[in-house]
Amino acid sequence: MPIIEYQQQCYALKDGDNLLQGLLDAGAPVPHSCRSGVCQSCMVQVLKGSPEPKAQLGLTPQQKQLGMMLACQCHPQQDLSIDLPQRACRFPARKLAAEWLADDVLQLRLSSPIPFIPGQSIQLDVNGRQRRFSIASVPPKQSYIELHIEHRLSSDLCQQLFTLSDGAELLISHAQGQCVYDPTSPRQPLLLIGVHTGLAPLYGLAQHALQQGHQADIRLIHFYRGASCYLQQPLRTLAQQHPNLDVQLLPLDSMASRINDWLPTNSELHHSQAFLAGQAPLLEPLARQLFIAGVARKHLHLEGFGRS
């Protein structure tokens, strides 16, 4: 029975328990989102004991050297002392602007003290509360970090961020995540499906792909909540400027019934890279459907958000 010391408290896990789930069940606050080793929001630093190699897949050599691992991918076999990555891994960013894009979507722009690739995500630290958000902006033209924050899931946070004065300092993590454009495959079709604020990383990725001269088709499908897509005009403008970009904006309640109308043929899917972003439970059936239709597992990328 491994004993886990986390933030000065000890938790007894059963043999074979998942570290993230075990800590959450015991009431310990651990940031998390996808629970599948993709978003890296559950990263912890091992202070005593050894990180599990399989919980370090996808981390950089520096992160491994610092003893980082993903709690959602770890089943401890030994006692461990862990904590959230040190605050030294946080960087001060300044609020530049905040604006409501829709009743329930706050656009937040921050100065960028870190390098990032459009579509990656950062952890935002506001008064000790941490949440992970994807980046919609594309440098060098947009040298700031732009986040789309769903009010329904983070109403307190949205209010705090909105009322915070411009220039106020926030702490952010380094950028991470694999919902990013691969410039080595410019002839591979891209299928981007976003649910509500899951549009943010896909908007960043699509703009980045076009900026890099992507040659194959890019199909972007957005399932929106509310009356209309909150980025309708910028997306329409982008599609007018780039004939290889096709944008479909559909209400979320039509997702199950209409998705097949807008998917490429199976032979095209077979060659496509697919990126899905939004609330994790809504993406999983869609990912299964795409896999069965022919998208290779290695070409299927999920950016799942949770209610952390």
Q: How far is the CB of 38 from ligand FES (least distance, A)?
A: 6
Which residues of this chain interact with ligand FES, rule CB under 6 A? 32-35, 37-42, 70, 72
Rounded to a whole number of angstroms, the minimum distance from the CB of residue 280 to ligand FES is: 9
The nearest distance, CB 54 to ligand FES, in angstroms, is 12
Phi, psi at residue 171, to the nearest 5°?
Answer: -100, 140
Q: Which two tokens stand for residue 136?
A: 């919609």
Q: Phi and psi (nearest 5°) for 92?
A: -75, 130
Amino acid at 44: V
- Tokens standing for residue 58: 């996808």
Alpha-carbon distance of 117 to 124, in angstroms, equals: 17
3-state secondary structure of 210: helix
Beta carbons of 132 and 143 less than 8 angstroms apart:
no
Nearest approach in angstroms of CB 160 to ligand FES is 23
Closer by beta carbon to ligand FES, 36 or else 159: 36
Closer CB to ligand FES, residue 117 or residue 269? 117
Nearer to ligand FES by Cβ, of 35 and 131: the residue is 35
Taking the least distance from each CB to ligand FES, the nearer of 231 and 282 is 282
- The encoded tokens of residue 289 equal 């459907």
Nearer to ligand FES, 76 or 264 (CB): 76
Which CB sits closer to ligand FES, 35 or 196?
35
Decide the pairing of beta strands 273-279 and 68-70.
unpaired
Q: What count of residues does the chain have? A: 308
Quick count: other Cβ atoms within 10 Å of Cβ 98? 18
CA distance 222 to 197: 9
Of 43, 36, 1, 12, residue with least CA distance to 130: 43
DSSP state of 56: G
CB of 93 to ligand FES, least distance (A): 22
Residue 117 backbone phi and psi in degrees, to 5 = -110, 135
Nearest residue to ligand FES, using CB?
72
Contact yes or no for 305/278 (Cβ under 8 A)? yes
Nearest residue (CB) to ligand FES, 34 versus 277: 34
Nearer to ligand FES, 259 or 286 (CB): 286
Q: Using alpha carbons, select from 87, 103, 96 the residue that is nearest to residue 172.
A: 87
Closest to 291 (Cα-Cα) out of 305, 302, 307: 302
The least distance separating ligand FES from the CB of residue 264, rounded to whole angstroms, comes to 28
Least gap, CB of 73 to ligand FES (angstroms): 7
Smallest distance from ligand FES to CB 25, Å: 15
